[in-house]
Amino acid sequence: MWNRSSVRTLSAALCSVLMLSACAATSANTSTSASSAAMVPSKKAQGNEPFWQVQLFPTLCRDTMSGMVYPESATLTFNGEKHSGCAGDPLTVLAGSEWQVKSIRGKALPDTVKVTISLDEERVYGTSGCNRYFGSYQLTGEGLSFGQIAGTLMACIDEKASQAEREFLPALGDVRRFDIGAKGELMLFDENGVIITATKP
């Protein structure tokens, strides 16, 4: 049975054949060698020759149309011709780590203020400066956005933390897509540019 990741992987590979111009991708890291590629079972034609074969490389890949970041690059060999695309579930790029926010709308956060972002399969959650927050998000092939955010209502005596919270939560609501920078930093964009940057501790 295909799981969500398998379906995304297969559809990304076939997309490279059917809609190459729309699905062509650029790798964010070209240092991975062919020996580290994973092989997806290939369909065989008569004479036991491969009809199609997919190789997956553990390098970040961006869809050139939407800018969506995927965890793997894919090469599909189809009737002797090779096509490139992206594969995997974009959520795996974001989930599994607590991201520490470093700047909001171009303004660096003080080292003493902790603002974090974490995602699992169902929700976004973290520390907003003074309080804990949680809410919904939507991750599609077109981008990332956050739904209604709820949180604790603790009084905050640290003005810097309080100010960060007042800036962070509205900015989170303006997010439309994400990207991963050259140093592995998370960048969250609104319609005009980067509004939140975060790193792994």
Supply the mean pLDDT for the chain: 81
* Spatial contact of 201 and 192, defined as CB atoms under 8 Å apart: no
Q: Rounded mean pLDDT of 34-60? A: 64
Using an 8 Å Cβ cutoff, are 36 and 4 in contact?
no
Q: How high is the pLDDT of residue 201?
A: 83
**Across residues 82-95, what is the average pLDDT?**
92
Alpha-carbon torsion (20, 23, 26, 30), positive or negative = negative
- Higher pLDDT, residue 84 or 150: 150
92-199 placed in CATH 2.40.128.270: yes
Q: How far is CA 146 from CA 45, 137, 139, in A?
A: 46, 4, 9
More confident position, 90 or 18? 90
Residue 16 has pLDDT above 60, yes or no: no
CB 51 within 8 A of CB 43: yes
More confident residue, 83 or 136: 136
* Position 13 pLDDT exceeds 60: no
Q: Are strands 194-199 and 99-104 parallel, antiparallel or unpaired?
A: antiparallel
| pTM listed for this prediction | 0.76
Res. 128 pLDDT band, cuts 50 70 90? very high
Q: What's the pLDDT score for residue 37?
A: 56
Domain with CATH 2.40.128.270 in the chain: 92-199
State mean pLDDT over 125-151: 95
Q: Using CA atoms, how far apart are residues 95 and 143, in angstroms rounded to an integer?
A: 15
